[in-house]
Amino acid sequence: MSKLMEGKKGIIFGVSNKRGIAYGIAQTLHQHGAQIAFTYANESMASRVTPIAEEMGATIIEECDVTNEDHLTRVFDKVKQEYGQLDFVIHAVAFANREDITGNFSEITREGWDLALGVSAYSFVAVARHARPLLKEGSSLITLSYIGGEKAVPNYNVMGVAKAALEASVRYLASEFGPLGIRVNAISAGPVKTLAAKGIGGFDILLKVNQVRSPMKRNITLDEVGNSTLYFASDLSTAISGEIHHVDCGFHSIALCKEDSELTHLVD
C-alpha cells in the first residue's frame, strides 16, 4: 500500500467508537502512515477512545470539549509541544438535543438552537483558530457535513441549519486561510449505519431512500468516506479548497429517479 500520509501529523476531533465515520477516517489515514492525535469529549468517553487511539500508535490522547476554549488551548499546546506543526485537522463533531431533531422544526427552543450550532458549526471555527499557528503551507482542515445542510431532510431539523452554517464557514475559512497555503474543505457523506445516526428519527427509511434514489443504487461505506478524506488530507488535493465534496453515491445530484417516474398511481 502506498503511504500517502507518511511523515504527516494531525489531530482528529470526534472519534467515539469503531462504528463511526470519524473512526473510518482515522483508520484510513493511519493505514497510510499518518501520525494522529486523538481527543475525547469528556471523561466518560475516555475508556472508549483511548484503546482506539492506542491501537493506532497515538502519543497524544486528550480530553477536549470543543465548546470549551480552555480545553482547546490545552490540546493545541500539547500538540505544539509534541508535534511542533500540523499537516491536517479533522473535525467530526456534531450534536443536538434529541427532541430538536424530531417533531416540528418551528418548535425548537433558543437553547437547543444555540447548542446545536455551537457544537456542530462554531466549534469548527474555534478549532481552526487554535490550529492556525501550527498549520503550515500545504496543511488541510477538513470537516464533515450532510445533504441536510443543503436541502430539507425529515427529522434532521436544526442539525440541517447547523450543517448549512458549517458549510458556509468552510468557504469563509478557505478564503481566509488560502493565502497561507492552507486548504479548508468538507466531506458531505451519505447516511451510514453509525451509533450517532440512530438518534435521527426514521434513519432506516433514509438509508432505504438513499439506496433507491442514488444513481449507484446503494449506500456508502465508512471506507469510502475515509478514502475521500485521505484525498483531501494528502498532497493529492493541493489545489482544492472551499469544496463541499459529496460522498453519497450521487444522491445529491438527483431530483427524480426512475422509481419516482413509475409512481403512475399518483397521477389522475
Query: What are the pLDDT digits (tens) for 156-214?
Result: 999 999 999 999 999 999 999 999 999 999 999 999 876 565 556 566 787 888 888 89
Kindly state whether residue 2 falls inside one of the protein's structural domains: no
Alpha carbon of residue 225 to chain centroid: 10
**CATH code of 194's domain:** 3.40.50.720
Residue 152 placed within a domain: yes
Q: Virtual CA dihedral for 243, 247, 249, 252, nearest 10 degrees?
A: -50
Report d(CA 206, CA 192) in Å as an integer: 10
Give the predicted TM-score (pTM) of the model: 0.92
**Closest to 6 (Cα-Cα) out of 34, 36, 41:** 34
The verdict on whether 172 is a catalytic residue reads no
Report pLDDT digits (tens) over 79-119. 999 999 999 999 999 999 999 988 899 999 999 999 999 99
| Residues spanned by the domain of 110 | 9-266
Q: Is residue 141 part of a domain?
A: yes
Is-catalytic flag, 231?
Answer: no
Q: Is residue 153 part of a domain?
A: yes
Sign of CA dihedral 160, 165, 169, 172: positive
| pLDDT-derived band at 266, boundaries 50, 70, 90 | very low
What domain count does the chain have? 1
The answer to whether residue 19 is domain-embedded is yes
Confidence band, pLDDT 50/70/90 cuts, at residue 267: very low
Structural domain includes residue 4: no
User: Does residue 47 lie in a domain region?
Assistant: yes
Q: How far apart are the first and last CA of the chain?
A: 57
Alpha helices in 56-182, H assignment, sequence order: 69-82, 110-117, 123-131, 158-177
* CA separation for the pair 11, 125 (Å, rounded): 15
| Candidates 40, 146, 172, 231; catalytic one | 146
Q: Has residue 1 been placed in a domain?
A: no
Active-site pick, 23, 40, 83, 156 = 156
Residue 260 has pLDDT above 70, yes or no: no
